């Protein structure tokens, strides 16, 4: 447990030192959403019907673009091999790192989503469900993404390959997350997909760190 907290503290400290990151996420989200209507007719009904897909695609893309900072800096400065040699279970350390990563990324998305919803004309009563679905879904994106990053860590230009590996695994999150948002926008109960998202989150928290730890060992061989 102490190792988990030590890892978390260290990564949060790093996050605080690199404050620019959080702002980037906000800007990315807003920019993507602002650009989209320019590519089509900005009719309210059209934008509203596409809002869930748009928000989730933004979340997916932001996750993919920022996943690199999860392990690559540690690989480069030699910390990663020390983590592999530590007494704490590597899976626990991975969980701590993903938690810190999410606090600086996915959480930002959750907090900015009401503003984005406003831009897309989402009705006010749908906002809580939107935030909740992002709250449940973005950690899963980080956890699954960690596996992908760990697998491609040894490669020089891993960006597109990472997307190819990770996108199929993101499909359930996209489906249930967007499904929940859609239901809320139409005024229907969103409990079903939200429960599925929680299930995915629990599964990811328990299994993904183990897979990512195994992948890290393989990549560093």
Which residues contribute to the site for other proteins (CB under 8 A)? Answer: 2-3, 6-7, 9-10, 13-14, 17-18, 73-74, 76-79, 81-88, 93, 147, 151-152, 154-155, 158, 161, 164-165, 167-169, 171-172, 175-176, 179, 193, 196, 200, 203, 207, 211, 214-215, 218-221
Residue whose CB is less far from other proteins, 40 or 79: 79
Residue whose CB is less far from other proteins, 110 or 173: 173
121: left (phi over 0), alpha (psi -120 to 50) or beta: left
User: Least distance to other proteins from the beta carbon of 3, Å?
Assistant: 5
User: Least distance to other proteins from the beta carbon of 15, Å?
Assistant: 10
Euclidean distance between CA atoms 198 and 157, whole angstroms: 33
Question: Contacts from 152-156 at CB under 8 Å and sequence distance 24+?
Answer: 152/219, 153/71, 153/72, 153/75, 153/215, 153/216, 153/219, 153/220, 154/219, 154/220
Q: What is the DSSP letter of 40?
A: S
User: Least distance to other proteins from the beta carbon of 70, Å?
Assistant: 14
Residue whose CB is less far from other proteins, 30 or 165: 165
Residue whose CB is less far from other proteins, 38 or 160: 160
Euclidean distance between CA atoms 127 and 221, whole angstroms: 46
Sorted by sequence, the CB contacts under 8 Å of residue 117 that are 6+ apart come out as 51, 55, 126, 127, 130
User: Least distance to other proteins from the beta carbon of 31, Å?
Assistant: 26
Residue whose CB is less far from other proteins, 10 or 30: 10
User: Least distance to other proteins from the beta carbon of 39, Å?
Assistant: 22
């Amino acid at each position: 447990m102490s190792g988990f907290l030590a890892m978390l503290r260290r990564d949060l400290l790093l996050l605080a030192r690199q404050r620019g990151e959080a702002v980037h996420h906000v800007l990315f989200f807003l920019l993507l959403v602002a650009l989209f209507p320019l590519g089509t007719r900005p009719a309210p009904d059209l934008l509203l019907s596409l809002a869930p897909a748009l928000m989730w695609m933004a979340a997916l893309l932001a996750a993919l673009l920022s996943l690199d900072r999860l392990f690559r800096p540690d690989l480069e400065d030699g910390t990663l091999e020390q983590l592999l040699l530590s007494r704490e279970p590597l899976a626990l350390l991975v969980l701590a790192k993903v938690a810190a990563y999410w606090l600086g990324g996915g959480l930002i998305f959750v907090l900015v989503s009401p503003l984005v919803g406003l831009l897309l004309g989402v009705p006010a009563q749908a906002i809580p469900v939107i935030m909740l679905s992002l709250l449940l879904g973005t950690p899963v994106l980080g956890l699954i993404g960690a596996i992908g990053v760990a697998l491609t860590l040894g490669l020089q230009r891993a960006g597109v390959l990472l997307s190819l590996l990770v996108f199929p695994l993101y499909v359930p999150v996209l489906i249930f997350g967007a499904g929940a948002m859609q239901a809320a926008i139409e005024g229907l109960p969103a409990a079903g997909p939200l429960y599925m998202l929680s299930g995915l989150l629990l599964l990811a928290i328990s299994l993904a760190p183990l897979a990512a730890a195994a992948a890290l060992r393989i990549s560093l061989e």
